[in-house]
């Protein structure tokens, strides 16, 4: 074997690597736990565990500080698999260990897949209302909608991450360029006083408003209100600079080359090939108390192709699974008449169950072998031992 | 110490992967959608006993006035405040961003306006807010120490309040009685604006009104 390949193999099968990675893992969890006070649970997960590198900020610069969860978990996975292949020879007596290790490998892979593939959204539906999209909990998007057609809207959705980069955006469906001028991840909007400083916005509602940047909030019950100033530039020059913000409820209309458009910054949407109509929502309490007994939403599920048209009851621990997504009862406001469903799309949701089953099976087999051997050893000497009769004196 | 090239590549890989992200522009066609409804401004349905709506993110924002081209601005979210207005204050249809809105009639047909608004954060801080109000009645901005000296501090129902009394100069001076109340990460503003004489007469009622303001959850 080539020298460099051998050194690579030795590196990966090394028990020292396992110990080092476990220590790194502990340090990562420790740092993340402390940082949770500042960032909250979601941001900590993203920064420390669902990342390759943990970055620290020094002024304007992001500096790599520590390996992230993907690196530590990934190397542990490689280490485990490599050691498994290199050290363990398959024998029936070691079946249990093999199964338990396979379960562990699957568990690590499952977490990786969940981190990479799982998406969380929410669906907010008013009583009698029909909704065909879910909204992200945290992500936002700039949308440019061609509303000229009386039947359909043509939507181009640009993630706010691209606005942050500040580079001009050209898309084949847009007859103009989108040039991000300013982006505030969190802000407040106010009416602009008459004697206030001039606005960067030149069109739409923007010139009447003032946006003040705010620190990003990581609290779970608060939401950032991003605001951006974007200039639209057509072939004939600028169409104007718009202030867009999730704080503005309605999209701002404009016209270009004989077509009607709308521009807005909104919570990222995931459109579904089906719709849910809220028929009934219930919030039952135990008689004579205010203690909640049951939250449930009765919804009509309808697909665009007409194949599905049925009523579904969603309540705590009884989600709707449809279209590769799971719809959980999440929040409810009976007085305002709306329900909020949490929509989770995780193609690898079964993996942890299979992993745990494999590990349990492996441990049962392993301990079972040991138990049988132990009982066998105890029986054998008992059967073979000679009966001794003490001599009488 | 010599680090083999293959290990360097291996260590650099996460940096390259870390740069990847879900930043794809999406284009799709959807059936025509209805514009979101703008909720009516709070407090008016309750007569003179104002109650703010339960905040529920962007959908709970009050509607903007006609001058805003039908666009709405989100105001503060989180638990609200309740209040009881004096009987002679007339609850009126709100305009942009108002949680509560009252007209206060005076002698000779003059009117004063009371607005209750709320915004996330501290809206630039005490000095900026006082100077913004001063600017609205053509008064020059004050330095921080002068603003601090002009503020009266009150505390009612567990809420800390700052109050200022500003009068413009000129033949028909305008007076602003303004109060701000930090509450649950937001700042609530109560601002009474009108002719000097009327606002001065209403000052005791305004201060009594501030005493009725309390967190929505409080009995």
* d(CA A212, nearest CA chain B) in Å: 8
pLDDT at B49: 32
- The answer to whether the CB atoms of B97 and A191 lie below 8 A apart is yes
Confidence of residue A163 (pLDDT cuts 50, 70, 90): very high
pLDDT at B46: 31
Confidence of residue A269 (pLDDT cuts 50, 70, 90): very high
pLDDT at B96: 47
For residue B129, being part of any structural domain is answered with: yes
Most confident of A230-234, A314-318, B78-82: A230-234
Query: What residues in A contact B26, CB-CB < 8 Å?
Result: 155-157
Encoding tokens for residue A302? 């309808």
Q: Which has the higher per-residue pLDDT, B50 or A86? A: A86
Query: What residues in B contact A70, CB-CB < 8 Å?
Result: 14, 17
pLDDT at A142: 96
Encoding tokens for residue A329? 């009862």
d(CA A142, CA B19): 22
Confidence of residue B158 (pLDDT cuts 50, 70, 90): confident
3-class SS letters over B113-131: EEEEEEEECCCCCHHHHHH
- The answer to whether the CB atoms of A151 and B23 lie below 8 A apart is no
For residue B12, being part of any structural domain is answered with: no
Q: Which residue of B has its CA nearest to A193?
A: B136
How does the average pLDDT of chain A come out, rounded? 87
Note the ipTM here.
0.71
Q: Which has the higher per-residue pLDDT, A125 or B136? A: A125
pLDDT at A184: 93
For residue B167, being part of any structural domain is answered with: yes
| Rounded average pLDDT over A371-392 | 72
pLDDT at B9: 57
| Rounded average pLDDT over A168-194 | 88
- Among A144, A188, A204, which would you mutate to test the B interface (most chain B Cβ atoms within 10 Å of its Cβ)? A188
pLDDT digits (tens, 9 = 90+) for B180-189: 999 887 889 9
- The answer to whether the CB atoms of B32 and A208 lie below 8 A apart is no
| Rounded average pLDDT over A320-343 | 84
For residue B151, being part of any structural domain is answered with: yes
Give the count of Cβ contacts less than 8 A between chain A and B: 136
For residue B209, being part of any structural domain is answered with: yes
pLDDT digits (tens, 9 = 90+) for B23-73: 789 999 998 887 654 433 333 223 333 322 222 233 323 223 222 333 444
Minimum-distance CB partner of B23 among A161, A190, A249: A161
Query: What residues in A contact B32, CB-CB < 8 Å?
Result: 147, 150-153
The SS3 of residue B46 is helix
The SS3 of residue A35 is helix
Q: Give the DSSP H or E segment for A255.
A: strand A252-256
pLDDT at A335 over 70: no
E strands, B32-122, where? 49-51, 81-84, 90-91, 98-105, 111-120
| Rounded average pLDDT over B128-146 | 85
- The answer to whether the CB atoms of A188 and B27 lie below 8 A apart is no
- Rounded to the nearest 5°, which phi and psi values hold at A237? 120, -165
- The answer to whether the CB atoms of A8 and B6 lie below 8 A apart is yes
Most confident of A283-292, A369-378, B120-129: A369-378
Encoding tokens for residue B107? 């002698």
pLDDT digits (tens, 9 = 90+) for A23-81: 999 999 999 999 888 777 778 888 898 889 998 877 778 888 899 998 998 899 899 88
pLDDT at B1: 46
Beta bridge partners of A263: A144, A252
For residue B115, being part of any structural domain is answered with: yes
Burial (Cβ within 10 Å: 0-12, 13-18, ≥19) of residue A241: buried
Q: Does the beta carbon of A29 lie under 8 angstroms from any beta carbon of chain B?
A: no
Minimum-distance CB partner of A333 among B56, B97, B123: B56
Q: What are the CB-based long-range contacts (under 8 Å, 24+) for A56-65? A: A64/B15
Percent of chain A's residues with pLDDT above 90: 44
Domain count, chain B: 1
pLDDT at A144: 96
The CA-atom distances, in angstroms, between B215 and each of B157, B158, B160, B211 are 8, 9, 12, 12
For residue B76, being part of any structural domain is answered with: yes
pLDDT at B73: 46
pLDDT at B12: 57
| Rounded average pLDDT over A182-203 | 81
pLDDT at B88: 87
Q: Which residue of B has its CA nearest to A194?
A: B136
Minimum-distance CB partner of A171 among B27, B29, B71: B27
Confidence of residue A391 (pLDDT cuts 50, 70, 90): low
Alpha helices in A280-384 (DSSP H): 351-384
Q: Which residue of A has its CA nearest to B70?
A: A250
pLDDT at A140 over 90: yes
Beta bridge partners of B73: A248
Segments forming the whole domain that contains residue B87: 44-215
For residue A187, which of A202, A206, A203, A165 has the smallest C-alpha distance?
A206
Q: How far apart are the first and last CA of chain B?
A: 71
Q: Give the DSSP H or E segment for B5.
A: helix B5-18
CB atoms within 10 A of CB A186: 19
CATH number at residue B168: 3.40.1000.10
pLDDT at B93: 62
d(CA B117, CA A245): 19
d(CA B117, CA B57): 16
Query: What residues in A contact B51, CB-CB < 8 Å?
Result: none
| Rounded average pLDDT over A246-269 | 90
For residue B146, being part of any structural domain is answered with: yes
Most confident of A216-220, A351-355, B131-135: A351-355
CB atoms within 10 A of CB A380: 10
pLDDT at A312: 94
| Rounded average pLDDT over A109-119 | 84
pLDDT at A293: 80
pLDDT at B179 over 90: yes
- The answer to whether the CB atoms of A209 and B73 lie below 8 A apart is yes
- The answer to whether the CB atoms of A249 and B59 lie below 8 A apart is yes
Burial (Cβ within 10 Å: 0-12, 13-18, ≥19) of residue A343: buried
Q: Which residue of B has its CA nearest to A221?
A: B78
Query: What residues in A contact B28, CB-CB < 8 Å?
Result: 154-155, 157, 271
Q: Does the beta carbon of A340 lie under 8 angstroms from any beta carbon of chain B?
A: no
């Amino acid at each position: 074997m080539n020298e460099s390949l051998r050194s690579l193999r030795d590196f990966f099968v090394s028990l020292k690597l396992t110990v080092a990675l476990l220590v790194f893992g502990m340090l990562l969890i420790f740092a993340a736990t402390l940082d949770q006070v500042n960032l909250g649970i979601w941001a900590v997960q993203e920064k420390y565990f669902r990342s390759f590198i943990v970055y620290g900020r020094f002024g304007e610069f992001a500096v790599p500080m520590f390996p992230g969860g993907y690196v530590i978990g990934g190397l542990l996975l490689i280490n485990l698999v490599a050691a498994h292949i290199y050290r363990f020879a398959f024998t029936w007596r070691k079946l249990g260990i093999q199964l338990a290790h396979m379960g562990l490998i699957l568990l690590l892979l499952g977490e990786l897949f969940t981190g990479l593939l799982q998406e969380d959204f929410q669906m907010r539906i008013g009583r009698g209302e029909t909704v065909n999209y879910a909204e992200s909990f945290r992500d936002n998007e700039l949308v440019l909608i061609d509303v000229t057609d009386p039947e359909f809207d043509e939507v181009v959705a640009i993630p706010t991450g691209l606005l942050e980069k500040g580079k001009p955006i050209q898309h084949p469906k847009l007859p103009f360029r989108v040039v991000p001028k300013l982006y505030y991840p969190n802000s407040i909007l106010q009416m602009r006083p008459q004697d206030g400083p001039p606005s960067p916005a030149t069109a739409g509602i923007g010139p009447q408003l003032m946006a003040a940047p705010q620190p990003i909030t990581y609290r779970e019950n608060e939401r950032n209100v991003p605001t951006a100033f974007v200039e639209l530039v057509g072939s004939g020059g600028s169409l104007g600079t718009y202030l867009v913000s999730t704080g503005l409820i309605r999209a701002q209309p404009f016209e270009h080359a004989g077509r009607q458009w709308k521009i807005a910054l909104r919570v990222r949407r995931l459109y579904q090939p089906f719709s849910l109509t809220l028929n009934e929502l219930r919030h039952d309490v135990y008689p004579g108390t205010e203690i909640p007994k049951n939250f449930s939403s009765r919804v009509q599920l309808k697909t665009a192709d007409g194949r599905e048209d049925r009523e579904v009851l969603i309540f705590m621990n009884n989600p709707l699974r449809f279209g590769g997504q799971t719809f959980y009862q999440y929040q409810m406001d009976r007085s305002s008449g709306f329900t909020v469903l949490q929509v989770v799309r995780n193609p690898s949701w079964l993996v942890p169950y299979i992993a745990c089953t494999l590990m349990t099976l492996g441990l049962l087999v392993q301990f079972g072998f040991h138990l049988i051997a132990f009982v066998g050893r105890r029986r054998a000497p008992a059967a073979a031992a000679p009966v001794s009769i003490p001599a009488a004196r | 110490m010599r680090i083999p090239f293959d290990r360097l590549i291996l260590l650099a890989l996460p940096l390259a992967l870390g740069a990847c992200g879900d930043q794809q522009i999406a284009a799709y066609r959807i059936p025509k959608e209805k514009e979101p409804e703008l909720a009516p401004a709070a407090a008016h349905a309750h007569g003179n006993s104002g109650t703010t709506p339960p905040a529920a993110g962007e959908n709970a924002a009050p509607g903007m006035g006609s001058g805003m081209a039908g666009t709405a601005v989100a105001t503060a979210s989180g638990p609200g405040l309740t209040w009881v207005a004096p009987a002679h204050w007339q609850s009126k249809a709100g305009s942009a961003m108002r949680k509560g809105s009252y007209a206060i009639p005076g002698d000779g047909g003059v009117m004063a306006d009371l607005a209750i608004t709320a915004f996330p954060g501290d809206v630039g801080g005490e000095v900026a807010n006082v100077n913004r109000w001063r600017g609205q009645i053509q008064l020059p901005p004050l330095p921080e120490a002068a603003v601090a000296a002009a503020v009266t501090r009150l505390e009612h129902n567990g809420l800390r309040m700052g109050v200022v009394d500003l009068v413009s100069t000129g033949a028909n001076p305008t007076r602003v009685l303004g109060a701000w109340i930090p509450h649950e990460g937001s700042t609530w503003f109560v601002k009474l604006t009108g002719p000097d004489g009327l606002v001065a007469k209403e000052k005791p009622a305004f201060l009594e009104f501030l005493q009725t303001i309390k967190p929505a959850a409080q009995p």
